Amino acid sequence: MRLKSKDSKKIGLVNTGEYGDKELIGLCLKGQESGYARLYDRYAVPVYNTISRLVNHQREEAEDLLQEVFVDVFSKIERLQEVESFEGWTKRVAINKSISYLRKKQKVHFLSLEQTQLSEMSDEGMEEAVLKESRLEEIEKAIEGLPETSRTIVNLFLFEEMSQEEIGKLLDMSHTAVRSQYHRAKNRIASQVKGREVKKIG
């Protein structure tokens, strides 16, 4: 049965009550639909947001992937009894499916740009200061305009709190390439945000 598609602003219709994740998983194992419904309602928003950022806010694709993620997770619910974090596990499934989508549907290749020198990471202190003073909305808007590989790296690092080593393994890139791409993207984001601030003042 296909899960009901929901916009991130509309999720939250089921009362999750005071059940913990382990208890809800237990309900699922007993065949009770309320367990599945409550887990979906509890985590659909953060999982959807993860997917949406990675597919650059393509709503239809993000909703389809959200369905696929929960169908996959719920079809293997017995494996989750020993998992420490249901949300963490589900988000990892979401990230993997989003990356696969980018590769297969859009024919995106995550290139390991070894020729990019770390010396390009100049004025890092200044860029860090600009980002710290910026609003999240401005940073997210700048991220949306990045090339696919850079945008994916930045989203995984900033919003999913994955280490650069983990990102490298996921995207089949070296740690050096991930680090270089991230710093170049960060400088570009800071430059765009700073440019908008100057326009506002002008």
Q: Residue 46: inside a domain, yes or no? A: yes
- DSSP string of 14-69? S--TT--HHHHHHHHHTT-HHHHHHHHHHHHHHHHHHHHHHTTS-HHHHHHHHHHH
The reported pTM is: 0.73
Structure tokens at 191: 């430059």
Considering the domain architecture, whether residues 127 and 86 belong to the same structural domain is answered as no
Residue 190: burial class (beta carbons within 10 Å; 0-12, 13-18, 19+): buried
CA 187 to chain centre: 21
CA nearest to 21, candidates 76, 73, 84: 84
CATH assignment at residue 185: 1.10.10.10
Considering the domain architecture, whether residues 99 and 170 belong to the same structural domain is answered as no
Considering the domain architecture, whether residues 97 and 170 belong to the same structural domain is answered as no
From first to last of the 202 residues of the chain, give the pLDDT tens digit: 334 444 444 444 445 457 899 999 999 999 999 999 999 999 999 999 999 999 988 899 999 999 999 999 999 999 888 888 999 999 999 999 999 998 887 655 555 444 333 333 344 444 454 454 457 778 888 899 999 999 999 999 989 999 999 999 999 999 999 999 999 999 898 888 776 654 554 4
Task: Determine the Cα–Cα distance for residues 164 and 179; give it in Å rounded to an integer.
Answer: 7
CATH assignment at residue 84: 1.10.1740.10
Total domains in the chain come to: 2
